[in-house]
Structure 1
Amino acid sequence: MAHSKVVQGHQARKRFGQNFLSDDFYISKIIESIAPQPDQHLVEIGPGLGAITEHLIKKAGKLDVVELDRDLIPRLESKFGHYENFSIHQSDALKFNFSELRQESEEPLRIVGNLPYNISTPLIFHLLKQREDIEDMYFMLQKEVVERLCAHPGTKQYGRLSVMAQYYCHASMLFTVPAGAFSPPPKVESAIVCLQPYKSLPQSVNDADLLAKIVTAAFNQRRKTIRNSLKQWLESEDFDSIGLAGSERAERLSLEDFIKICQYIEQSS
């Protein structure tokens, strides 16, 4: 059991990616950023030992928490179970239907979480599929993941995650959180990101799955030109029609460029 550490009597588990936030300064800063209101429905993913939960529950109208670790459920129940606005769901957030919670309230959901690094990207995409029921999301993630979510073309952080996340929502990095703010401390720096799904997409394609395939193919071999990486869909002369140079590489293309490519392929097929 060299991989675990006892935190407040709980064995922090490596397989769940558990690093509990324990620094009051950063806890307050996160709550300030979220600014929960009495008429809002919040959902916390992975409440852990309840460091953020205890602030959210006093300010939010309704708070649902989704926790995978069965050992934490009784602790959370005994700590917060007496609040009328509190509900707990022992579940894997990657499989959880967040839209069902929306059916219980008029308000769209505000999602909060200190996400385990190993599930952060798939979980964000799982939530974006349910974006019509979500107002905004505040996540603590590995700093590198936040940089990728918010990256601009031409930077080394820019990639598939940047393009697809920014297609669906506005992403902004709020502040970094040092490893020492957690118990046990992770090996990496963390950061808080705010993701706000667009009510209606500023630019859209008919087939978002096709867009995702194009973006994935373009970034799978970053050193290749788009003429090579996208040849299953486009001939050399197609790039002239789109208004892009086939000699460009994926990291130089903006979200708008990828949307143009996708729309051109949709119209041609």
Structure 2
Amino acid sequence: MHRARRRFGQNFLHDRMIIQQMIIALSPRAGESFLEVGPGQGALTRPLLDHGVRLTAIEIDRDLAAGLRRHPAAQAGQFQVIEDDALTRPLAPLIDQAYQALRIVGNLPYNLSTPLLFHLTAPPAGIRDLHVLLQREVVDRMAAVPGSRTYGRLSVMMQARCQVEPLFDVHPGAFAPPPRVTSRFVRLIPHRARPLGDVDDDCLGRVVAQAFAQRRKTLRNALRGLLDAAAIEAADIDPATRAEQVDLAGYGRLARIVERQDSAD
């Protein structure tokens, strides 16, 4: 029996009804290309392989990776296990190897969920969808609308990249060991045409991070050193506005001004 390792944020899914719900939501078809992040003991791996998908799994725990490699599908060339950190593993080669647009699935460790989300949604093309299990509060923030208490940096950055569809909650008892929080399964569908067009992702990230760093401040104060009041007004935004009141399009306009400023320097 493998003991969950805290340093890897391991909570192993074992509830068969929840696993079945996830498979129904995924609706996998034979021949599709999947990437599973953090397969653990294979709770989702096995039913995915039973559906005939071509599966690559990234597992950081060498003991779990060794166990997964013993699956007969690995010997048949249907299943590849990569022992690595998904946070640093380049996705482009995996996208290039996929027979079809790559589908990503995973039970993401809660302590690394935000950087993993940014990493997994960064490729501009080649990802069909992502289905990930996260802390419920993280999904709430991803799907939040302007003006709400949960609307923030994660909301803007994820919605700039993907359509966010919360699916269903997963109770702590579905895992071993059980986490202290409720989880939520969410579907992310990368935009075919990004809502902000060709806005530079780094510029957008800088604006959003600084705006929400001290969300009680007005943008005039929060963006000091990055954009002055005149530049904020040029984006058709009142400098007295606070970060949570600005919608996605507004952040896109601010990012474009930062991009122009950078080009002029």
> TM-score over 0.5 for the alignment?
yes
CA contact (8 A) 1:139 1:194 kept: yes
Aligned length in residues: 261
Q: Percent identity between the aligned chains?
A: 41
Aligned positions of 1:126-165 closer than 5 A:
126-165=119-158
Matched position secondary structure for 1:12: coil
Q: Does 1:171 align with 2:164?
A: yes
RMSD: 1.6
Where has structure 1 moved over 6 Å in runs of 4 or more?
A: none
Question: Are 1:23 and 2:15 counterparts?
Answer: yes
**Is the Cα–Cα contact under 8 Å of residues 45 and 114 in structure 1 kept in the other structure?**
yes
| Among 191, 204, 209, the residue aligned to 1:198 | 191
Does residue 46 of structure 2 align to residue 46 of structure 1? no
Rounded to whole Å, the distance in 2 between the matches of 1:144 and 1:48 is 23
Shift of 1:16: 0.7
Shift of residue 242 of structure 1? 2.5
1:250 paired with 2:240, answer no
Secondary structure at the counterpart of residue 147 of structure 2: coil
Q: Is the 8 A contact 2:12 2:175 kept in 1?
A: yes
How far apart are the structure 2 equivalents of 1:221 and 1:134? 34
Matched, 1:76 2:68: yes
| Whole-Å separation in 2 of the counterparts to 1:213 and 1:233 | 9
Q: What is the CA–CA distance in structure 2 between the aligned matches of 1:68 and 1:235, rounded to whole Å?
A: 45
1:27–1:51 CA contact under 8 A, matched in 2: yes
Q: Aligned-pair distance for 1:67?
A: 0.5
CA deviations on 1:22-79 (whole Å, 9 max, x unpaired) are: 1011000001001111131011111111111111012143111111101112221223
One-letter amino acid of the structure 1 residue matched with residue 32 of structure 2: Q
- Counterpart for residue 83 of structure 2: 90
Letter in 2 for 1:30: M
* CA separation of 1:238 and 1:99: change in aligned 2, threshold 3 A: closer
Structure 1 position 120, deviation (Å): 1.1
**Counterpart Cα distance in 2 of 1:188 and 1:171:** 21
The answer to whether the 8 A contact 1:205-1:262 is kept is: no
- Which blocks of at least 5 consecutive residues in structure 1 are unaligned? 1-8
Say whether the 8 Å CA contact 1:61–1:85 is kept in structure 2.
yes
> TM-score scaled to structure 2, two decimals?
0.93
Distance 1:98 1:240 in 2: 39
Stretches of structure 2 that go unaligned for 5 or more consecutive residues are: none
Counterpart CA distance in 1 for 2:65 and 2:201 is 37
The range that moved more, 96-105 or 49-58, is 96-105
2:18–2:170 contact (8 Å) kept in structure 1: yes
The CA deviation at 1:83 is 4.3
**Partner Cα distance (1:195, 1:202) in 2:** 15
C-alpha change, 1:71 and 1:243, in structure 2 (3 Å) is: same
